[in-house]
Structure 1
Amino acid sequence: MTTTVRATRPQGATFIELFFDLVFVFAVTQVTGVLAEHLTGVGLIRAVLVFWLVWWAWTQFTWTLNAADTEHSGVQLLTMAAVAAAFLMALTVPDAFEATGWWFATAYILVRLIGLAGQWWVSSGDAEWRGAIRPWMALSFAGLATVAVAAALPSGPRTVAFGVAAALDLFSAWRAGDGEWRLYPEHFAERHGLFVIIALGESLIAAGTFAADQPRTGVLLAAVIFAVAGACALWWTYFARAKGALEEAMHRAASRERGRYARDVYSLLHFPIIGGVVGFAVAIEEAVAHPTEHLEPAGALALVVGVALFVGCTGVALVRAGAGWPVVRALGGMALLGSYPLAVAWSAPSALAWVAAIVVVVAAAETLLPQR
């Protein structure tokens, strides 16, 4: 046990953080399930809003634990309390817009309050850091109050209220971005990279659950192989070059710019990146559940848009990092979006194979071509 609550040197991700992350990936899996059951315009909006709340609770803790000594017993107990609240939040994701939605709202608010308390505790004695945290906390409390009010509203107005809460979260991030934050780049990048890995793995686990109940056929095997190929290709596009380039840029950033950079690249742009994994997961679940059929139009859209979000938003993050213009990613994203008619017309395994092939070409080209 250590006695200093604040990290005094760079640290790697610890077991307590991985424990915490796994619960949140379960919440993301729950969002995937909700979206798969409600693939409509309204269902998409609601899934995005719930996913935002889940993501924002996780990313707040990423900032907190980055600066904390995660070997400190008090920090570990605080994180365990957040794990308990986050698990309840994850369990109740499907209830978010039901009459029992107050369960989700209460658990979400509790996770956020624990995170805010942790930030205040870890920043003790640092006037500049506290100066950045105060406006962030004030606007965060406004967002949490909005979520509390939303829980008492019918599903339609609740959707609007959740949207207002998300807008307040964004405003709080913008308002606090110019502050003096204490961040360790390597640890920060590692946490987000681990979340990407776990989310990709969880998408395959969810698809495998559907595949396990299907008769063993060549068509099912093809769907499974191409689903795994797609996940591996997405991994390649993120970890072969992008992760390192994003981390290096954070190392280079000056103190105040580092906070803005972490906000833009990790807290904001990784939201659609993980959202892309959700779309991919929805599509491969449908593909392995009905491998002899075509993807439904909504499922095909989830496939091409989800993968395009992952590839494209990682490219936007690279632009923000000053790593050049990722032309290959832009072309790949356009090819993916243009593949929607094919994804609808072809069989599910063929659609997965085509999308995986595009991503492999993007990853290979980005790896082999000279970087500009």
Structure 2
Amino acid sequence: MSHPVIRRAWYVPMRARPAEESHRVSTPLELLFDLCFVVAVAQAAAGLDHGFIENHVGSAILAYLMTFFAIWWAWMNFTWFASAYDTDDVPYRLLVLVQIAGSLVIAAGVPRVFADNDFTVIVIGYVIMRLATVSQWLRAAAADPPRRRTATRYAVGVAAVQVFWVALLLVPSSWVLAGFAVGVLLELSVPIVAERPTPTTYHPHHIAERYGLFTVIVLGESVTAATLAFQSAMDRSGHSATIIGMAAAAVITMFCLWWVYFDHESVPEINAARAAFLWGYGHYLLFAAAAAVGAGLVVAVAYEEQETHGISYVVSAAATTVPVTIFLLVITALRAQPGRPRIIPVATSIAAAVVLADTFVPAPLYLTAGVLVALVAVLTAATRTRAGASPDAPPAADS
């Protein structure tokens, strides 16, 4: 029996998709985009752990925050646009291909930032991506009259800020940091200004899923980086109990961070503009922290193997405990919703404080893993008990 051939129109007018559309899920093209983008995340994390190992901590953190903003912002621009205007026709797919190519150029430029503070290649990658992004917004402006002003504002704003980034390459190096800060403010203001006439019809459930999937990918990249570090250490020094124990603590830590992120009772309330901006912008810190945890684990292995160059024990511990603390605090803020058990934010905040304190005591990786296990136990008891007490809870299945 032959299978029917699915025929798609090669061109579809780019009208807004309804925000209440049923069965709206991430597409294979969006997943491919994410997987290509994680290459840049891996490069940024590698630059961060290398900076710690070489005792260039301050410059490494600054370069990491700057490059990660570029990575996250490019990903976020694509994600929110696709939620409202993904037509999946041939022009759309080809323009996404251009954006993927731009993301790979950005990834290629990340090491230059850490080595020489050179943003040239990253800016070139942005130019490539934004040629496609502006084209997509112009398509939306032409085909979606109710939101024409919004789409036009996006197209003009994105193009104008990109001109600023290109111009920043021409200024003296002493101006770059201040210019970068100005560029960040301009970037963040474009959606705020553009959404005022008529908001885009992003799909709240789709956005929550897209952010969740990228969180999984970033955590997965951290696991990969840490695994390679542990494997390399065991190849050099044999299967030492210390390295194996650290590896087990690292796996538990990453799994617990995943659990904390996804242990919620409903999708986040991001229908209102303020909540949407908080969710969208707040994930910069969460994604950056998740990737930095992997870098911190690499630093912990290097310190144990005496391969670091002059960093103190506290600094080596902070490379892991600080990003874990930031992750917990940010997810607490993002998941703050009326009606949630008060014990959840309280427990998460206490866990964050204890993890930060682990920086100054022996065996911080083990203690951090233990704190996160306790937090997961508390969150599980709180959410499951509340679900069981709810009159709307489904009956337990018979054994």
TM-score range with shorter-chain normalisation? Answer: 0.7 to 0.9
- Mapped to 2, the partners of 1:96 and 1:292 lie a distance apart of 27
Query: Which residue identity lines up with residue 203 of structure 2 in the other structure?
Result: Y
User: In 2, Cα distance between the equivalents of 1:283 and 1:22?
Assistant: 22
Query: Structure 1: how far apart are the matches of 2:163 and 2:106?
Result: 17
Which whole-Å CA distance do the structure 1 matches of 2:207 and 2:229 have between them? Answer: 34
Sort the Cα spacing of 1:99 and 1:231 in 2 relative to 1 into closer, same or farther, 3 A: closer
- CA distance in 2 between counterparts of 1:17 and 1:86 reads 13
The answer for the alignment partner of 2:276 in structure 1 is 262
Structure 1 residues 365, 42: CA separation in 2 closer, same or farther (over 3 Å shift)?
same
| Superposition deviation, residue 89 in structure 1 | 0.9
Residue of structure 2 aligned with 1:335, choices 333, 341, 354 = 354
User: Cα gap change, 1:217/1:156 in structure 2, threshold over 3 Å: closer, same or farther?
Assistant: farther
Report the Cα distance in structure 1 between the residues aligned to 2:355 and 2:233, rounded to whole angstroms.
29
Q: Distance in 1 between matches of 2:317 and 2:138?
A: 45
Checking the alignment, whether the CA contact within 8 Å between 2:250 and 2:365 is kept in structure 1 is yes
Aligned mate of 1:22, from 35, 50, 58: 35
Contact 2:233–2:305 under 8 Å retained in 1? no
More displaced 10-residue stretch of structure 1: 223-232 or 213-222:
213-222
TM alignment of 1:42-61, pairs within 5 A:
42-61=59-78
Counterpart in the other structure of 2:187: 169
Change in CA separation of 1:58 and 1:230 when aligned onto 2, cut-off 3 Å: same
Give the corresponding residue for 2:293: 280
Give CA-to-partner distance per residue, 1:313-341, whole Å, 9 cap, x none: 1111122x445452211212222222221
Partner of 1:118: 136
Q: Secondary structure at the match of 2:142?
A: coil
Cα distance between partner residues in 1 of 2:202 and 2:300: 41
Q: Distance in 2 between matches of 1:318 and 1:311?
A: 11
Instruction: Report the CA distance between 1:124 and its aligned residue.
Output: 3.4
In structure 1, distance between residues paired with 2:218 and 2:134: 25
Look at both structures and tell me which one has the larger radius of gyration over its CA atoms: 2
Displacement after TM superposition at 1:361 (Å): 1.9
Q: Give the corresponding residue for 2:392.
A: none
Measured at CA, do residues 222 and 88 of structure 1 come closer, stay the same or move farther in structure 2, by a change above 3 Å? same
Distance change (3 Å), C-alpha of 1:104 and 1:367: same
Shift of 1:194: 0.6
Residue 120 of structure 1 deviates from its aligned partner by: 3.0
TM-score, length of structure 1 as denominator length? 0.87
Is the deviation greater in 3-12 or in 232-241? Answer: 3-12
Q: Deviations over 1:48-91 (max 9, x none)?
A: 11111111110000011112335322221111111111111111
Cα distance change of structure 1 residues 151 and 37 upon mapping to structure 2, 3 Å threshold: farther
Contact 1:211 1:288 (8 Å CA) reproduced: yes
**Which residue pairs with 1:308 in the alignment?**
325
In structure 2, relative to structure 1, the CA distance for the partners of 1:123 and 1:33 (3 Å cut) is: same
Question: Residue 80 of structure 2 is aligned with which of 60, 63, 66?
Answer: 63
> 1:295, CA displacement in angstroms?
7.1
Q: What is the SS of the residue equivalent to 1:12?
A: coil
Aligned to 1:298: 315
Aligned in 2, Cα 1:212/1:155: closer, same or farther, shift over 3 Å? farther
Segments of 5+ residues of structure 2 without an aligned counterpart are 1-7, 388-399
Q: Is 325-334 or 183-192 further displaced after alignment?
A: 325-334
Q: Which runs of 5+ in 1 are unaligned?
A: none
Task: State the distance in 1 between where 2:312 and 2:251 align.
Answer: 17
**SS of residue matched to 2:150:** helix
1:106 is aligned, of 118, 121, 124, to 124
> SS state of the match for residue 193, structure 2?
helix
Task: After TM superposition, give the deviation of residue 296 of structure 1 in Å.
Answer: 4.0
Structure 1: distance between partners of 2:118 and 2:349: 43
